[in-house]
Amino acid sequence: MPIAILEEHNDLADSVRSFVARVAPSEVLHEALENPIPNPPPYWKAAAEQGLQGVHLSEDVGGQGFGILELAIVAAEFGYGAVPGPFVPSAIASALIAAHDPKAEVLTGLASGEVIAAYAIDSGLTATRHGNGLVIRGEVRAVPAAAQASVLVLPVAIESGEEWVVLDADALEIEPVPSVDPLRPVAHVRANAVEVGDERVLSSVSRDLARALITTVLSAECIGVARWATDTASEYAKIREQFGRPIGQFQAIKHKCAGMIAETERATSAVWDAARAIDEELQGNSETASSFEFAAAVAATLAPVAAQHCAQDCIQVHGGIGFTWEHDTNVYYRRAIVLAAAFGRHADYPQQVVDTATSTGMRSIDIDLDPDTLKLREEIRAEVAALKAIPKEERNTAIAEGGWVQPHLPKPWGRASNPIEQIIIAQEFSTGRVKRPQMGIAAWIIPSIVAYGTEAQQQRFLPPTFRGEMIWCQLFSEPGAGSDLASLTTKATKVDGGWRITGQKIWTTGAQFSAWGALLARTDPSAPKHQGITYFLLDMKSEGVEVKPLRELTGNAMFNTVFIDDVFVPDDMVLGEVNRGWEVSRNTLTNERVSIGSSEPPFLASLDQFVDFVRDGHFDQIEQNEAGRLIAEGHAAKLLNMRSTLLTLAGGDPMPAAAISKLLSMKTGQGYAEFGVSSFGTDAAVGDHGQPSGKWAEYLLAGRATTIYGGTSEVQLNIIAERLLGLPRDP
């Protein structure tokens, strides 16, 4: 999935993608490996005519008047095409100048393509004050596109700190040197007492803003590389055959490709947010002074690693042919290596994530809705306030009867709320501090009762469930049928007035507290695997139902084994049609509910708790680097969920972001606990729950369940590979 969410951004991405495919096909890339790239490249004029060099520049200088988010979308598509030449370095340089003065004279030439610029993120340049200007000396190594540029934007150390200065290439000594990526030439740059006036100093661009801007655009190019590698590996896995079948059918390849798209999507969400944060800063709308700094550091922590990992895995999936000079994998792996180098010291970014998160705080994750929704918000706010005024003992009934518990459901059970209204309701209940009854497992069962239940079933079960008075459990998994529900063996035999059911269910959350359960049983053993299954509503007090708490490795018993011994279930407790239970059970996976932020299990450490832990502890640089990586991953997982919501609002498919968010957030949650426990040294052996070490040990033990329940990570990887990447199913 590209960075773009909104229709206009998707149109921009499509346009640039089409342009890149025309001007930089594979043969052009390989030609550039062997021969110097013309300056400007052959596509330069056409790109300027399409307005690409100035997409982020003011209309006053001939640009298109957009922002860094639009530039990031363009850079990602150029990364996807591994486009040769100085486009991205020049765009970064022009963005730095525009951040200082959107109407700077040099920007006119940059927007039109008549001028090419370059930049550096680190340098050995120093400056001394001389009259109304500076005298600059020193060397900058490995400057991207320096030999192709007529203007360079370089950081210079002066007494007051570090400033970026605009220098003419003619005043500098530029020495081209071999680049690991011949398509992205580099050169050493030397300044020997070069004099520049103060008007060439980008004094209004702080060091933090400059580095954030540079790394965000670089990160966008990185995710383009990662996305190309993911797509290319997946497509090859569909057609390359070994041992008589496509290699994409082998789980090892399937999981590798799924891991690639997961890492790419996580980095994409971070880049998207970083670009938005910088635009907010440039427009004076930033929530805090460090918001853009944190967001950019998260992107820089994740994106270059994603590009390298995916390029490496793409080579691995291709096998021997991927290691040849002739294959495009060669081009993209080289680009990934040079891009990673362009960030400077990679360890700086996880450290910046930690420093910002534990001092000024993480960037908040929230959804800003269109001002046109203000009237609706005011109406909902007034209704929430009225609910808050109701006595507590009566409030849950009013909330349930008003359809507030699950507002996406049709009336009278919900409010038939569209995604925007659902978000406003969630926000207003949160800010108004009005708690809605918690549904727990029932949240998965209610939509099926609404969609398939008889009127009698709906009237009997839904009101008390919405009031929080009726607890449910889900009787799906069996000892021999966990994620593979279609293999269940619990048997239901038709008798007069109902069914006799016998079987065993396991991993049933909260069964010991539940009044009712949603039960799947096989009613036609001769039917194909996914057919012949019926969905029953089971009274957990029925004769023959025995619940045995299943003590987990934590010592607690959240799960249960449920024995069902010749239990009678009347006909009116069949939900939906007999033998169509698979269809009913799938309903809960496709209902149109949206949420804000990723859910974090209460028995695991949350991202906020982890940040507090790191803030209060004492860790060396290696540990802080690891903590920064985990914070970046956790924040990006929440962003994935937010993007899923925004995709729903935009009419897009939220499935990719939602599926990947579940996979990654659970793994990251385990990482918090592993980090916490490892920090206690010998005290990690102390299991006293009243002590910090005992609490984190509990998180560590409980966390092992998160990559198992709801479909193991391995099953999730299969689903991602098959449904999102189109890899062939297992035979």
SS (H, E, C) 381-405: HHHHHHHHHCCHHHHHHHHHHCCCC
- Which of 140, 135, 113, 112 minimizes the C-alpha distance to 124? 140
Q: Per-residue pLDDT for 690 more than 90? A: no
Last residue of a domain, one of 118, 150, 185: 118
Report the pLDDT value the prediction gives residue 653, as an integer from 0 to 100.
67
pLDDT digit string, tens, across residues 139-196: 999 999 999 999 999 999 998 789 999 999 999 999 999 999 999 999 999 999 999 9
670 inside domain: no
Among 168, 200, 232, the domain-final residue is 200
CATH of the domain at 39: 1.10.540.10
- Averaged pLDDT, 674-701: 88
Cα 44 from Cα 110, distance rounded (Å): 11
Q: Answer yes or no: is pLDDT of 589 > 70.
A: no
Which residue of the set 162, 592, 626, 674 is catalytic?
592
Q: What was the pLDDT predicted at 109?
A: 97
Indicate whether 554 and 613 sit together in one domain: no
CB–CB of 684/700 below 8 Å?
no
CATH code at position 141: 2.40.110.10
Beta bridge partners, 493, equal 500
* pLDDT the model gives residue 592: 44
Please tell me which of 361-370, 605-614, 708-717 the model is most confident about, judged by mean pLDDT. Answer: 605-614
d(C-alpha 105, C-alpha 99), whole Å = 13
Tokens of 601: 């299990």
As a whole number of angstroms, the distance between CA 71 and CA 56 comes to 6
pLDDT at 397 over 50: yes
- 161: closest CA among 212, 197, 203, 100? 203
* pLDDT > 70? residue 222: yes
Query: What letter represents residue 403's amino acid?
Result: G
The answer to whether residues 113 and 127 belong to one domain is: no
Share of residues in the chain with pLDDT > 70 (%): 95
> Which of 437, 468, 487 is the endpoint of a domain?
437
- What confidence tier does 132 reach under pLDDT thresholds 50, 70, 90? confident
What burial letters (b/e) apply to 695-730, b meaning 16+ CB within 10 Å?
A: bbbbbbbbbebbbebebebeebbbbbbbebbebbee
What average pLDDT does range 253-262 have in this prediction? 96
- Tell me the two tokens of residue 471: 């607890």
Report if residue 651 sits inside a domain: no
Decide if 696 is inside a domain.
no
Domain match, 423 and 292 both: no
Tell me the CATH number at 269: 1.20.140.10
Q: Using one digit for the tens of pLDDT, what is the confidence trace for 567-583? A: 999 999 999 999 999 88
Say yes or no: 191 and 273 in one domain: no
Instruction: Give the residues across from 498 on adjacent strands.
Output: 495, 570
For residue 664, being part of any structural domain is answered with no
Other Cβ atoms less than 10 A from the Cβ of 637: the count is: 28
Question: Are 663 and 717 a contacting pair, CB within 8 Å?
Answer: yes
User: Per the structure, how many domains does the chain have?
Assistant: 5
Q: What is the average pLDDT score of the chain? A: 91
Could you tell me which residues come within 8 angstroms of residue 225 by beta carbon, excluding any fewer than 6 positions away?
79, 80, 82, 307, 310, 311, 332, 335, 336, 339
Q: Are residues 92 and 137 in the same domain?
A: no
Q: Which residue has the higher pLDDT, 461 or 666?
A: 461
Q: Across residues 346-357, what is the average pLDDT?
A: 95
Q: What pLDDT was estimated at residue 656?
A: 63
Average pLDDT, integer, range 402-406: 94
Considering only 3-7, 19-23, 435-439, 542-546, which range has the smallest mean pLDDT? 3-7
The parent domain of residue 259 ranges over 209-365+601-642+707-731
Answer yes or no: is pLDDT of 369 > 90.
Answer: no
On whether both 424 and 474 belong to a single domain, the answer is no
Identify which has the larger pLDDT, 648 or 118: 118
Q: Is residue 648 part of a domain?
A: no
As a dihedral over the C-alpha atoms of residue 703, residue 707, residue 708, residue 714, rounded to 10 degrees, the angle is: -160
| pLDDT for 596 beyond 50 | no
- Residue 35 is assigned to a structural domain of this protein: yes
Residue with tokens 């009116």: 572
pLDDT at 597: 46
pLDDT at 593 over 60: no
Q: Note the pTM of the prediction, 2 decimals.
A: 0.89
Residue of higher predicted confidence among 166 and 597: 166
Displacement of CA 387 from its chain's centroid (Å): 35
Same domain (yes/no): 220, 352: yes
Residue 27 confidence (pLDDT) above 90 = yes
- Report residue 138's pLDDT band, with 50, 70 and 90 as the boundaries: very high
Category of 225 on φ-ψ map: left (φ > 0), alpha (ψ -120 to 50) or beta: alpha
User: What is the reported pLDDT for 555?
Assistant: 86
Closest alpha carbon to 277 in 250, 298, 303:
298
* Percent of the chain residues past pLDDT 90, beyond the cut: 72
One domain, residues 127 and 110:
no
592 catalytic? Reply is yes
pLDDT on residue 492: 96
Provide the pLDDT for residue 415. 94
Average pLDDT on 82-104 reads 97
Q: Measuring CA to CA, which residue among 613, 570, 594 is closest to residue 700?
A: 613
| Degrees, nearest 5: CA angle 597-600-601 | 150
Distance CA 558, CA 616 (A): 31
In this structure, what token pair is assigned to residue 187? 């050169």
Q: Are residues 224 and 332 in the same domain?
A: yes
pLDDT for the residue numbered 501: 97
User: Domain check: are 127 and 114 in the same one?
Assistant: no
* Tens-place pLDDT, residues 283-317: 887 655 568 999 999 999 999 999 999 999 999 99
DSSP assignment of 172-212: SEEEEE--SSTTS-EEEEEEEEEEEEGGGB-TTS-HHHHHH
Question: Which pLDDT does position 296 carry in this prediction?
Answer: 97
Picking from 632, 638, 514, 523, the residue whose alpha carbon sits closest to that of residue 571 is: 523
Residues 523 and 544 in one domain: yes
**Domain presence at residue 282:** yes
Kindly state whether residue 192 falls inside one of the protein's structural domains.
yes
Contacts of 631 (CB under 8 A, 6+ apart): 298, 353, 354, 357, 362, 607, 610, 611, 614
- Comparing 38-42, 248-252, 648-652, the range with the smallest average pLDDT is 648-652
Whether residues 66 and 147 share a domain: the answer is no
**Residue 169 CA from chain centroid, whole number:** 40
